[in-house]
């Protein structure tokens, strides 16, 4: 299990890499273009980087209900969900916390490349919530 400092460092790597990619490509591309660009750039920087990986979704009683397809999973501790839309809708915003709860992962980033300005939102779930 990573320390909070290590997870924040992973978040910084994703934010900086996403910003550099946004500066290069700008907005207006399909989500897959940004995903491929991040894969190419992050694979050299992030430990235990996985793209398009499946995570077993667990119910409250730890029953396996389905497998969720995650865009990125870094270090087994951070989920990164990518979007390429003009504005994040309530459904997109609800998606990442749902993934975190289902996969029992505490930290996640929602990155939107579709608007003129890069959007990165950090989500943290804890047992207290």
Half-sphere exposure of 83 (CA within 13 A, CB side): 23
pLDDT in tens, 26-65: 999 999 999 999 988 988 776 667 766 667 666 555 555 5
Inter-CA distances, 122 with 22, 30, 40, 83, 125, Å: 18, 22, 22, 14, 10
Could you please state the CATH topology (level 3) that the domain comprising 4-124 is classified under.
Lambda Exonuclease; Chain A (3.90.320)
> Which tokens is 58 given?
């667990």
pLDDT in tens, 2-36: 788 989 998 999 999 999 999 999 999 999 999 99
Beta strands in 1-129 (DSSP E): 49-58, 64-74, 78-83, 107-112, 119-124
Q: Which residue has the higher pLDDT, 103 or 17?
A: 17
């Amino acid at each position: 299990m990573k320390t909070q400092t290590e997870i924040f460092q992973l978040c910084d790597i994703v934010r900086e890499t996403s910003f550099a990619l946004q500066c290069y490509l700008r907005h207006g591309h399909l989500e897959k273009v940004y995903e491929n660009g991040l894969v190419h750039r992050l694979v050299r920087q992030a430990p235990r980087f996985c793209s398009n990986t499946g995570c077993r979704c667990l119910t409250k009683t730890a029953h396996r209900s389905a497998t969720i397809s995650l865009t990125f999973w870094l270090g087994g501790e951070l989920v990164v969900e990518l979007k390429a839309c003009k504005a994040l809708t309530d459904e997109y915003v609800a998606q990442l916390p749902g993934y975190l709860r289902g996969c029992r992962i505490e930290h996640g980033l929602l990155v939107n490349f579709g608007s003129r300005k890069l959007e990165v939102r950090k989500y943290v779930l804890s047992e207290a919530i």
